[in-house]
């Protein structure tokens, strides 16, 4: 089983992947199509569903995510001028920066057996939520102290992609705990008249534990700030590709990135799938990938499944028993195609983008059995006029849509060409299993 742990390329002619981002210059032709929701920009969009609350979200993309600052007057230096602005962009492939770190390696197949004979093809849209392991550093920024002087306490101490685990030995799991720990410690120094001005933070960088002493700045609101932009979770919309008879599922066909310019996969300690309601389809056009939007409902009654793996080839986990029974009663069980069985020609993708599960006609135009980027094992083109009319073709949020050919499941959609939303790439099913 794979351990639980996502590049945008801005070009005129490109392909967009349906996942998270990681800047790179080696592939200038595509980008993924699942965009994470910006929590603070969208605000507290609340809606009732089965007693749970909902928030607006869009399709996950490369490594797009909401950002929160532990410091800064009007936000950090990301150019967006405020807490929680989106700083990530659509990506074209999952990052492999952590591939040599044992905590992030892919360690086997989704099942214990050497092969999987068949799976249920799903195609359902789902809300995806992941909680980071520690607090993820997005950026450092200047803060203004009580004397009006601008300083950057964390500069060259931590960097984008680090995960803060503790402050003076006090474990922190989210933004609030980080802020509270820093302020509690500094206030203790003040009250005891201790001649101390720094706190020691321990953090992970590429799987290695490191530490740094940082001198928090007291601002005119009386609170202390380290000048670090951080976030502690990520959420968005994606597509479940398949599940087995015992409820093990695979989705997206690529990994979820950390939403920073580090280009790394998200280092997470928990993740969940939730029900969602589609409310918007933004049609794709040349130069601008389309996207879907909707309300993701959070809570026990809306829970669909649990994530336990985030790898370069997809996200994996276990469906809840109720969903497994409901899905299996409606979905078709398909034999799994070997890579040698996949051929150019007609195929179909299954998607819930219209509001119900439907098959849409595709053409497999090329197959690369030795693709270096396994997320691009096949090239495809949407030929179904219904889907083209509805969304322009492939859009952000449909990453993971299963592809069927000759009565077998052969893979999943993973990218859309930026210059032509009817075209894109897919991953072969044997790579996802």
Q: Judge contact between 17 and 93, C-beta under 8 A.
A: yes
Of 27, 384, 420, 430, the catalytic one is 384
CA–CA distance, 149 with 151 (Å, rounded to integer): 6
Question: Which residues, 6+ apart, have CB-to-CB distance to 154 below 8 Å?
Answer: 140, 212, 214, 226, 227, 228
SS3 per-residue string spanning 314-345: EEEEEECHHHHHHHHHHCCEEEECCHHHCCCE
Work out the burial of residue 45: count CB atoms within 10 Å of its CB; fewer than 13 is exposed, 13-18 middle, 19 or more buried. middle
The C-alpha torsion from 85 through 91 and 93 to 99, rounded to 10°, is -20
Angle CA 314–28–260, to nearest 5:
55
Q: State the pairing for strand pair 395-396/402-405.
A: unpaired
User: Of these residues, 49, 66, 95, 399, which one is catalytic?
Assistant: 399
- 254: annotated active-site residue: yes
Q: Does the active-site annotation cover 302?
A: no
For residues 84 and 38, the answer to whether their CB atoms sit within 8 Å is yes
Residue 54 pairs in a beta bridge with 297
123-148 burial, b if ≥16 CB within 10 A, otherwise e?
A: bbbbbbbbbbbbbbbbbbbbbbeeee
Question: Of 254, 303, 331, 373, which is the active-site residue?
Answer: 254
Catalytic residues: 254, 384, 399
């Amino acid at each position: 089983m794979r351990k639980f742990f996502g590049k945008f390329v801005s070009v005129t002619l490109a392909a967009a992947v349906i996942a998270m981002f990681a800047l790179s210059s080696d592939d200038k032709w595509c980008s993924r199509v699942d965009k994470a929701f910006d929590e603070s920009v969208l605000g507290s969009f609340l809606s009732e569903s089965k007693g749970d609350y909902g928030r607006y979200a869009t399709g996950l993309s490369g490594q797009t995510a909401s950002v929160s600052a532990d410091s800064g007057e009007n936000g950090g230096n990301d150019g967006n001028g405020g807490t929680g602005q989106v700083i990530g962009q659509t990506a074209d492939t999952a990052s492999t920066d952590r591939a040599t770190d044992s905590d992030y390696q892919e360690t086997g197949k989704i099942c214990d057996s050497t092969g999987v004979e068949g799976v249920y093809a799903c195609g359902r849209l789902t809300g995806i939520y992941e909680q980071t392991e520690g607090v993820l550093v997005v950026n450092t920024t200047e803060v203004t102290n009580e004397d009006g002087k601008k300083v950057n306490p964390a500069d060259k101490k931590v960097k984008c992609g680090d995960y803060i685990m503790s402050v003076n030995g006090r474990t922190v799991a989210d933004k609030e705990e980080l802020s509270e720990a820093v302020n509690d410690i500094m206030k203790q120094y003040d009250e005891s008249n201790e001649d101390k001005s720094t706190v020691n933070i321990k953090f992970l960088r590429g799987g290695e534990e490191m530490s740094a002493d940082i001198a928090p700045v007291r601002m005119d609101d009386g609170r202390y700030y380290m000048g670090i932009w951080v976030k502690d979770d990520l959420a968005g919309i994606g597509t479940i590709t398949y599940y087995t008879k015992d409820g093990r599922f695979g989705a997206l066909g690529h990994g979820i990135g950390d939403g920073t310019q580090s280009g790394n996969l998200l280092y997470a300690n928990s993740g969940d799938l939730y029900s969602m309601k589609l409310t918007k389809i933004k049609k794709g056009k040349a130069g601008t990938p389309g996207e879907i939007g909707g309300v993701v409902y959070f809570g026990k009654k809306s829970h669909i499944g649990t994530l336990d793996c985030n790898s370069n080839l997809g996200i994996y986990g276990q469906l809840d028993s109720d969903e497994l029974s409901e899905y299996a009663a409606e979905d078709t069980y398909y034999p799994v195609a070997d890579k040698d069985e996949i051929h150019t020609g007609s195929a179909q993708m299954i998607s819930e983008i219209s509001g119900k599960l439907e098959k849409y006609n595709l053409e497999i135009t090329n197959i690369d059995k030795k693709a270096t980027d396994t997320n691009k094992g096949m090239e495809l083109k949407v030929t179904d006029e219904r889907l083209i009319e509805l969304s322009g073709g492939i859009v952000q949020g449909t990453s993971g849509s299963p592809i069927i050919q000759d009565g077998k499941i052969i893979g999943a959609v993973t990218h859309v060409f930026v210059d032509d939303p009817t075209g894109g790439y897919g991953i072969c099913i044997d790579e996802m299993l």
